[in-house]
Amino acid sequence: MKIVIVGTGYVGLVSGVCLAELGHRVVCVDTSPEKIAGLRQGRVPIYEPGLEQLMARNALEGRLSFDTDIGAAAEEAEVLVVAVGTPMREHDGQADLRQVMAAVDAIARALTGYAVIVTKSTVPVGTSRLIHERIRAARPDAAFDVASNPEFLREGSALGDFMRPDRVVVGTSAARARAVMDELYEPLRVCNVPIVNTGLESAELIKYASNGFLATKISFVNELAGLCERIGADVRDVSLGMGLDSRIGSGFLKAGPGYGGSCFPKDTRALARMGQENGMAMHVTEAVIRVNGIVKDRMIAKIIRASGGSVAGKTVAVLGVTFKPDTDDMRDAPSLTILPALIGAGAIVRAVDPQGRCQGEALLPGIQWQASAYEAARGADVLVVMTEWNDFVGLDLEQLARVMRQPRMVDMRNLFTPENARTAGFNLYDAIGRTSEWAVLEECPAPFVRASPALPIVVAPPGLGMNGSSRPRPDAAAPGPSI
Ligand SMILES: NC(=O)c1ccc[n+]([C@@H]2O[C@H](COP(=O)([O-])OP(=O)(O)OC[C@H]3O[C@@H](n4cnc5c(N)ncnc54)[C@H](O)[C@@H]3O)[C@@H](O)[C@H]2O)c1
């Protein structure tokens, strides 16, 4: 089967390479001549483990090629996949469909025989129908159908996710398109991958619903982490105990500095917007978005507290800037909110990331990039673990503590333990959702800082903690430094 993939970003390139690996003939098309020239020479423009090797093999074996000319590529193609970007529109939070519509117009011009136009980009409900109308208007003569086939791969494990997905969702109302899509995914169906056949609207919404739900789990656990810090519980134990319940599941229950990346922030915003536009407010999703902002404020407050109440003139060493490990993608990473806030408050920020510097340099002006964690930590007043890259797990904490001016750590990923940090010579270790494990609290009794407007809370009777215990809450009322 011949397939054209339009857009060679994280989704398009991985999809193209994997569909070639499944035995199809694939042409990947992009408007960027530099990208296509590099891909033809075997250069992968993104960091995705295993992609370069798989791409090279499929290109060598003649199943995969690259082009800027969709007209030539579309000849004899039975499936044309739209996999271009749908970034968030700043003014209203809705998905910006300009790349999609430009790709659709180019496809309309290129159509020859019957083809299925597949939307793999994440698009608001109703877009596939609009695409159908747009192509029909441009090409009344063309034989085509549309299908929605949202993508669920995760950066960092994209190849495995594409080749062995939990499910494939295909939305279409056309029997002929359904048959073509069945053939496209036959190699996965025979491996027992569930194929969920739906209408166009349901397929489009499944993508937003899935990302909205996963983001909900993350915001929920991040909010719990804040509560854990106040009442002496350990969020890792709470997550474990919750996640083992098969009705809940253990995924996406790891507390951290908030969700980021190219999908969750924009897709939650778009889902909320879709609700508003259709008179059905998505209250849960709106709260999830709000909590994600509050969590980042809490992280900023933690760093300020660990720095003794102010970061002005202090050096902050940051390990990791990407939104998660094993990707170079910097889109909407929490670091893009947290680090500029620190710099704005007068901090000198030194950062290291195994893959994030290339994109990060333009997005994070004022950061001093370092080649290693030890260089970043030299002379620093606080060390911040922002991304849980494997490269950081094996760091020599003693050496880090030794080269710092003040050996203090804010571990936003619970990568280390207070015991390890203390033994290594750190005199302050603050993690996420583990208040009871503060080391040397007495050295830095700065108050809890709340940089975002708080939601109303029920206050326990005087002298009682929120769990009814008589443990005092020293941080309850004191105002924190503002930044
Ligand atoms: N990145 C992810 O992890 C992920 C996962 C699932 C779904 N998605 C969704 O998939 C879509 C693509 O995301 P991405 O991260 O791959 O985007 P991306 O920005 O990495 O890639 C988009 C590519 O499309 C190209 N392009 C733009 N307009 C074009 C046109 N008219 N013709 C040909 N090429 C064109 C760009 O040059 C770029 O190479 C988005 O809707 C996204 O929400 C992304």
Residue 264 pLDDT: 97
Cα(8) to centroid(ligand 1), Å? 7
Pocket test of ligand 1: the residue of 84, 207, 326 to mutate, having most ligand atoms within 8 Å of its CB, is 84
pLDDT in tens, 356-365: 999 999 999 9
Task: Tell whether the model's pLDDT for residue 475 goes beyond 80.
Answer: no
3 vs 470: which has the higher pLDDT: 3
- Quick one: pLDDT band at residue 343, thresholds 50, 70, 90? very high
Q: Is the pTM of this model over 0.75?
A: yes
Same domain, 340 and 279: yes
Catalytic residues: 263
Going by C-alpha positions, the residue among 462, 87, 29 that lies closest to residue 266 is: 87
Cα(60) to centroid(ligand 1), Å? 25
Same domain, 260 and 118: no
Mean predicted confidence (pLDDT) in 189-214: 98
- 62: left (phi > 0), else alpha (psi -120 to 50), else beta? left
Please indicate whether residue 110, judged by its CB atom, sits closer than 6 Å to ligand 1: no
Same domain, 137 and 7: yes
Cα(233) to centroid(ligand 1), Å? 41
Task: Tell whether the model's pLDDT for residue 211 goes beyond 50.
Answer: yes
- Quick one: pLDDT band at residue 437, thresholds 50, 70, 90? very low
Please indicate whether residue 335, judged by its CB atom, sits closer than 6 Å to ligand 1: no
Domain of 89 in residue numbering reads as 2-198
CB 7 within 8 A of CB 32: no
Please indicate whether residue 81, judged by its CB atom, sits closer than 6 Å to ligand 1: no
- Quick one: pLDDT band at residue 474, thresholds 50, 70, 90? very low
Same domain, 430 and 345: yes
Same domain, 274 and 396: yes
Domain-embedded: residue 135: yes
Last residue of a domain, one of 171, 198, 225: 198
Can you tell me which atom of ligand 1 is nearest the CA of 152? 6
Pocket test of ligand 1: the residue of 27, 262, 331 to mutate, having most ligand atoms within 8 Å of its CB, is 262
Cα(43) to centroid(ligand 1), Å? 18
User: How many domains are there within the chain?
Assistant: 2
Please indicate whether residue 97, judged by its CB atom, sits closer than 6 Å to ligand 1: no
Same domain, 244 and 101: no
Same domain, 295 and 337: yes
Please indicate whether residue 148, judged by its CB atom, sits closer than 6 Å to ligand 1: no
Task: Tell whether the model's pLDDT for residue 54 goes beyond 50.
Answer: yes
Cα(86) to centroid(ligand 1), Å? 7
Last residue of a domain, one of 129, 163, 198: 198
Compute the distance between CA of residue 62 and CA of residue 59 in angstroms, rounded to an integer. 5
Last residue of a domain, one of 144, 171, 198: 198
Can you tell me which atom of ligand 1 is nearest the CA of 13? 16
Same domain, 301 and 393: yes
CB 122 within 8 A of CB 207: yes
Mean predicted confidence (pLDDT) in 447-467: 33
Please indicate whether residue 387, judged by its CB atom, sits closer than 6 Å to ligand 1: no
Domain-embedded: residue 480: no
- Quick one: pLDDT band at residue 462, thresholds 50, 70, 90? very low
Average pLDDT, the chain: 91
5 vs 476: which has the higher pLDDT: 5
Same domain, 239 and 146: no
Please indicate whether residue 359, judged by its CB atom, sits closer than 6 Å to ligand 1: no
Nearest CA to ligand 1 atom 20: 9
Same domain, 227 and 90: no
Q: Which amino acid is at 30?
A: D
Residue 90 pLDDT: 87
Residue 463 pLDDT: 30
Please indicate whether residue 70, judged by its CB atom, sits closer than 6 Å to ligand 1: no
Compute the distance between CA of residue 231 and CA of residue 460 in angstroms, rounded to an integer. 12
Residue 461 pLDDT: 31
Domain-embedded: residue 203: no
Same domain, 290 and 193: no
Domain-embedded: residue 37: yes
Please indicate whether residue 127, judged by its CB atom, sits closer than 6 Å to ligand 1: no
pLDDT in tens, 240-280: 999 999 999 999 999 999 999 999 999 999 999 999 999 99
Same domain, 174 and 74: yes
Nearest CA to ligand 1 atom 12: 85
Domain-embedded: residue 105: yes
Nearest CA to ligand 1 atom 35: 7
Nearest CA to ligand 1 atom 21: 9
CATH number at residue 373: 3.40.50.720
Domain-embedded: residue 205: no
Compute the distance between CA of residue 34 and CA of residue 55 in angstroms, rounded to an integer. 17
Mean predicted confidence (pLDDT) in 289-317: 97
Task: Tell whether the model's pLDDT for residue 195 goes beyond 50.
Answer: yes
Please indicate whether residue 9, judged by its CB atom, sits closer than 6 Å to ligand 1: yes
Domain-embedded: residue 63: yes
Domain-embedded: residue 52: yes
